[in-house]
Structure 1
Amino acid sequence: MPADNKTADKPEVQDAPGTADAATATESETLAAGAAVAVAKHATMRYATLRIGIFIVSLAVLWGLVAATGHIVTGNGVLYLAMGALLISGVASFFLLSRQRDAMSAQVTRRTDRLADRFEANAAMEDED
């Protein structure tokens, strides 16, 4: 007789094939969905922050290039550097931030759809009177 009588009296139950995998898959799908919601929730803020970051980096690079030539940036030179950095960051963000731009677009579309539905529901309530 085994030393542990509690386990000896109970029949051994085996999981159905794939049950553990299904539970793990469901849990991972839930986590992935939660992560997608979290990412989509702040898509506009993330895109704007990355655009500003790319602009600052391009401005710093341009400023460094000008400083490396021995020139001091003053007056209108600052404006020209800012315009150049804006142009460079715009082109770079077009290619680098397409995924974030798509997420932001989806977020804005969902929000406008909800607002339009709410507006139509309010208009329908007024018509019922």
Structure 2
Amino acid sequence: MSAAKPSATIRYTAMRLGVFVGCFVVVAGLVQFGVLPSGLGDSNFIWVVLLSLVVSAPLSFVLLRKQRDEMSVQIVEKVDRAKARLDANRAQEDDAA
């Protein structure tokens, strides 16, 4: 893995946020035009946010599978490197004792 490659976690998070924002715009438009019911009283914004979350979650699960898998691989590699360093440090301490 090269150092110039952007973090898979940041890329996945940005794409997930993009899916949410897209859903928010669509849901807000549908509520504005009366296709979807609006919230009660002043709760319209909260209604749109919650509905956008509910819609964007399964979309992200399906659409961002590749990015999620890349993120998982990157995280596992980092954890494995950290474990290897920890084991090496423990071995040095055992040799010194």
TM-score calculated relative to the size of structure 2: 0.85
Residue 110 of structure 1: aligned partner: 77
Work out the percentage of aligned pairs sharing the same amino acid. 34
In structure 1, stretches of 5+ residues that fail to align are: 1-35
Task: Provide Cα deviations, 1:9-44, integer angstroms capped at 9, x if missing partner.
Answer: xxxxxxxxxxxxxxxxxxxxxxxxxxx747964211
* Unmatched runs of 5 consecutive residues or more in structure 2: none
Contact 1:67/1:73 (<8 A) preserved: no
Report the equivalent of 1:85: 52
Structure whose CA Rg is larger: 1
Query: Residues of 2 paired with 1:40 and 1:104: CA distance?
Result: 12
Given residue 122 of structure 1, which amino acid in structure 2 is its aligned partner? N
Amino acid at match of 1:57: G
So what's the TM-score if we normalise by structure 1? 0.65
Output the aligned Cα RMSD: 2.4
| 1:119 and 2:80 matched | no
Residue 97 of structure 1 corresponds to which residue in structure 2? 64
Please tell me whether residue 55 in structure 1 is matched to residue 14 in structure 2: no
How far apart, in 2, do the equivalents of 1:68 and 1:119 lie?
Answer: 58
> Post-superposition, which runs of at least 4 consecutive aligned residues in structure 1 deviate over 2 A?
36-41, 70-75
8 Å contact 1:43–1:107 — kept in the other structure? yes
**Are the equivalent residues in 1 in contact too, given 2:39–2:47 (CA < 8 A)?**
no
Count of residues in correspondence between the two structures:
94
- Deviations for 1:52-71, whole angstroms, at most 9, x for unmatched residues? 00000000100000111296
Shift in alpha-carbon separation, 1:84–1:38, aligned structure 2, 3 A: farther
Q: How many angstroms apart in 1 are the aligned matches of 2:70 and 2:5?
A: 6
